[in-house]
Chains A and B, each alone.
Chain A
Amino acid sequence: MKDIREDIAWAQINNDVLKSLENPRKLYWVILFIAIAVVGVAVGCEIYQYNMGLGVGNFDNPHMWGLYIASFIFWIGMSHSGTLLSAILHIMHADWRKPIYRFAEAMTTFSLMTAGLFVAVHLGRIWQIYFALPYPNMRQLWPNFQSPLLWDAMAIFTYLSSSILFLYVGMIPDLAICRDNMHPGWRKKLYTALALGWEGTDRQWRNFRVTYLTIACFLIPLAVSVHSIVASDFAMSQQPGWHITSFPPYFVAGALYSGCAAIITLFIILRYVFKFEEYMTMAILKKISRLTFAIAMVWTYLVWVEYATAWFGNAHDHHLMIEKATGTYAPFWWMMNFCASVVPFVLFFKRFQTNIPVLFAVSLLLNLGMWLERWMIVAPTFADGYYPWTWDHNQWPSLVQWGIVFGSFGWFTMLFMIFCKIFPSVSMYEVKEMVYHRKLATKKLQATANLAAAGKGAH
């Protein structure tokens, strides 16, 4: 099974991808409409919460973060695999990434934007959000440089802006293609401005190659540091269930895991909606499935490390562990373990690695598991902290909270689908490179085989 057809014409690649900007299947509009509707519900919930106060979300002490912080971590995590995988696979010359990396990078950007919303959403006085920014304010209160929350702000800002630049720089040659092929109108003007006068000269390509590689090299340690810092928000506190040394690698693995699962989901949707069957092939889907399985196993190992740490740790951690498995949150905890540790074994079987309905369902379940994982990190600890008054203080999020959390999925989907309609979600020039290099490799193989055959004949 080949990653891509080698005889595909370059002009056809341009045509197919450019067509996706104009004529998607009807399902595109259905998805966009549902996404906008869900965002509408979330906006309604937010307005209600803004007017009535955080109490309508069922927040109380000690449950002051609820689903919002769990969703924040989920979206930060989701953002990881896009850029990180794109960068790692680029450095490793894994050219099967080429048809899929663009949408994965876009996923990163929009996930980070969605995560950022939760900082504002969980505030009671949203109009004073500027207090959340790390700068010295008028009361001479400086930001606490020793707090991971400050590191978080810096790391996420760096990651977001670097990811946007990585996405944009990688897209410049394709924007030039769009500029050259679009009819006059707002699109043409937009592409002309964004393409920066790119003409594919040797000078431009030479500098482009080094720039893209350099940013990729920066993004790998950056992505690792971002989720390690998010993990430090928990690990550097003294709360039971959080003060665990393995949290940073555990969070990074979880981030990659949920991101890979999301790539499968979006791969399947884009493949159908934009008729990308020629580029988002089964062979590539198979590779992503295998990668997801491998990362799932790393995550499963690390989650067991966490359980072992809690089990053999102090009495509070041990007690919390038992509470998670048998207490109020037990159904969600078991579902999390099932979805994130057992379900991925489906990907172990070859016949499912290319079965689209199964993969679609599995990818959704994996992300459900990963979202539950984040919730199960936050909520049970609050319900079973060191202070007796927190014990058995279980919280069930209200519909307002759920509405806003579902809305975040709508928000992400809306941004992502709009992006895919305006910008090429398959990298045209890189797919051409892929086709070109594979053709060359095949030619070389044939020449070698011919030589060998000729040699045999001579003997």
Chain B
Amino acid sequence: MGKRHLLALFTDFDEAEAVVTELRGVTIKGFNADKDMIVKSPIEHPEVEEFLGYKPVRVQWFTLVGAVGMGFLMFWLIAASQGNFFAQMKGGKPIVPFPPDFVLTYELFILGGVYITVLGFLICAGLPARRSPLYSAKVSEDQIGILVQADEAISGTLKSIFTKHQALEIQEEAGK
């Protein structure tokens, strides 16, 4: 059976919340709210997480790996290169001077942390992304969109839920 996409737009955040709560609570064959529903909003709503259910963010693991990895790697490279290739006479000074090397390590620790965090963000947020099957510019203005993907047979049921909660507009498109 073919899949169909529906995008409902709401001007009222409370209504959107009610729809999501209802969709998560209701049992409809061929529709899984956790997988088939996406909430789009013009601003970051921390409340969305409360009614959408907890979903882990893994960006911080990238941060940890990037910062610690880059810090260690660069300290090792700087120290090793000084010890092995630094042709200048040291005159009794340590071959690997720790305080200045720590300064450089500190900077590279941050550099690695920031770069890999951004990389992690792109991976975790799925960016760059293709346009989703249905999109409304109103979502970046002042409306909240709920995009669902469901079997064609149940799209009527979902539409009625949206209508019940005073959706401003419902867009529909046949999916794959």
Which A residues lie at the B interface, using CB under 8 A?
A: 9-11, 14, 136, 140-142, 145-147, 150-151, 154-155, 157-158, 161-162, 165-166, 169, 172-173, 176-177, 180-181, 196-211, 214-215, 218-219, 221-222, 225, 229, 429-430, 432-433, 436
Tell me whether B49 and A202 are in contact (CB under 8 A): yes
Q: How far is the CA of A87 from the CA of B85 in the complex (A)?
A: 40
Which residue of chain B has the shortest Cβ distance to A192 in the bound complex?
Answer: B131
| Docked pose: A204 CA to B126 CA in angstroms | 8
Q: Is the CB of B59 within 8 A of A229?
A: no
* A180 vs chain B, min Cβ distance (A): 4
B160 contacts partner chain A, Cβ-Cβ < 8 Å: no
Question: A203 touching B126 by the CB < 8 A rule?
Answer: yes
Q: Which of A142, A150, A151 contacts B88 (CB 8 A)?
A: A142
State whether A204 and B125 are in contact (beta carbons under 8 Å apart), knowing that A140-B87, A211-B59, A215-B118 are contacts in the complex.
yes
Would you list 11 pairs from A and B whose C-beta atoms are within 8 A, ordered by A residue? A142-B85, A142-B86, A154-B104, A181-B140, A196-B128, A197-B128, A198-B129, A199-B129, A200-B41, A203-B38, A207-B124
Assess whether B121 is in contact with A207, with CB atoms less than 8 Å apart.
yes
Task: Give Cα distance in the complex from A266 to B111, angstroms.
Answer: 29
A201 to B121, CA, bound (A): 14
C-alpha gap A14/B136 in the complex (Å): 15
Q: How far is the CB of B46 from chain A (nearest CB, A)?
A: 8
Binds A, one of B23-31, B95-103, B151-159, B163-171: B95-103
Question: Known: A142-B87, A146-B97. Is A154-B107 also a contact (CB below 8 A)?
Answer: yes
List 4 other contacts, CB 8 Å, given A209-B46, A211-B120. Answer: A11-B141, A173-B140, A198-B127, A207-B124
Q: Take A145-B101, A214-B63 as given contacts and tell me if A197 and B131 are in contact as well, using a CB distance cutoff of 8 Å.
A: yes
Chain A residue numbers with a CB within 8 Å of B125 are: 203-204, 207-208, 211
**Smallest beta-carbon distance A159→chain B, Å:** 9
A210 and B140 contact, CB distance less than 8 A: no
Partner of B127, one of A136, A150, A197: A197
Contact of B72 with A by CB under 8 A? no
Task: List, in ascending order, chain A residues with CB within 8 A of B1's CB.
Answer: none
Report which of B48, B60, B97, B108 forms a contact with A205, defined as CB distance below 8 A: B48
Q: Is B71 an interface residue (CB 8 A)?
A: no
A180 pairs with B121, CB closer than 8 A: no
Q: For the complex, what is the distance from the CA of A130 to the CA of B48, rounded to whole Å?
A: 52
Point out the residues of chain A lying under 8 angstroms from B67, CB to CB: 218
Instruction: Give the chain B neighbours of A173 by CB distance below 8 A.
Output: 140
**Do A208 and B141 contact each other (CB < 8 Å), given the known contacts A142-B88, A218-B113?**
no
Among B48, B85, B121, the residue within 8 A (CB) of A211 is: B121
CA distance A201 to B144 in the complex (A): 10
Q: Whole-angstrom distance from the CB of B111 to the nearest CB of chain A?
A: 4
Q: Are A210 and B59 in contact (CB under 8 A)?
A: yes
Residues of A within 8 A of B106 (CB): 225
User: Are B42 and A206 neighbours in the complex by a CB distance under 8 Å?
Assistant: no
**How far is A202 from B44 in the complex, measured between Cα atoms in Å?**
8
CB–CB B39/A214 < 8 A: no
Interface core residue of A196, A218, A433, A436 (most chain B CB under 10 Å): A218
Determine whether B176 belongs to the interface, using a CB cutoff of 8 Å to chain A: no
Contact residue among A9, A221, A433 (Cβ-Cβ distance under 8 Å from B43):
A433
A9, A165, A180, A197: the one within 8 Å of B140 (CB): A180
Q: A199-B40, A207-B57, A433-B44 are in contact. Are A142 and B139 (CB under 8 A)?
A: no
Q: A151-B103, A162-B110 are in contact. Are A176 and B128 (CB under 8 A)?
A: no
Q: Does B82 interact with chain A (Cβ within 8 Å)?
A: yes
- A222-B110 contact given A199-B129, A214-B59, CB 8 Å threshold: yes
Q: In the complex, are the beta carbons of B39 and A201 less than 8 A apart?
A: yes
Tally chain B residues at the interface, Cβ within 8 Å: 58
Q: Is B114 an interface residue (CB 8 A)?
A: yes
Q: Which residue of chain A has its CB nearest to the CB of B122?
A: A196
Contact A206 B55 (CB under 8 A): yes
Contact with A along B63-90 (1 / 0, CB 8 A): 1000100000000001001100111100
Instruction: Note all chain B residues with C-beta closer than 8 A to A181.
Output: 137, 140
- The answer to whether B141 and A10 have CB atoms under 8 Å apart is yes
In the bound assembly, the distance between CA atoms of A147 and B104 in angstroms comes to 11
Closest to B56 in A: A206
The answer to whether B97 and A151 have CB atoms under 8 Å apart is: no
CA–CA, A210 to B125, complex, Å? 11
Most buried by B among A151, A169, A204: A204
Distance in Å: Cβ of A382 to nearest Cβ of chain B: 26
Question: How far does the alpha carbon of A221 sit from the alpha carbon of B107 in the complex, in Å?
Answer: 10
Query: A146-B97, A205-B44 given as contacts; is B38 within 8 A of A151 (CB)?
Result: no
Known: A201-B40, A202-B52. A211 touches B45 (CB 8 A): no
Given known A-B contacts A225-B107, A436-B43, A199 and B132 have beta carbons under 8 A apart: yes
Residue of A161, A219, A429 touching B42 (CB-CB under 8 A):
A429
Q: Which residue of B lies closest to A156 (CB)?
A: B107
Question: A177 — which chain B residues lie within 8 A by C-beta?
Answer: 140-141
- Give the distance to chain A from B176, nearest Cβ to Cβ, in Å: 18
Hey, which chain A residues are within 8 Å of B114, CB to CB?
158, 161-162, 165-166, 215, 218-219
Chain A residues within 8 Å of B81, by CB: 142
Which residue of chain A is the closest to B96 with respect to CB atoms?
A: A145
Contact A11 B100 (CB under 8 A): no
Nearest-CB distance from B71 to chain A (Å)?
12
Query: How distant is A426 from chain B, measured CB to nearest CB, in Å?
Result: 14
The 10 closest A-B pairs by CB, nearest first: A197-B129, A10-B142, A180-B137, A211-B121, A207-B125, A196-B128, A196-B127, A162-B114, A140-B87, A158-B111
Which residue of B has the minimal Cβ distance to A142?
B86
Q: Chain A residues near B118: list those with CB within 8 A.
A: 165, 169, 211, 215
In this complex, which of B39, B49, B141 has the most chain A Cβ atoms within 10 angstroms of its Cβ? Answer: B141
CA distance A142 to B82 in the complex (A): 9
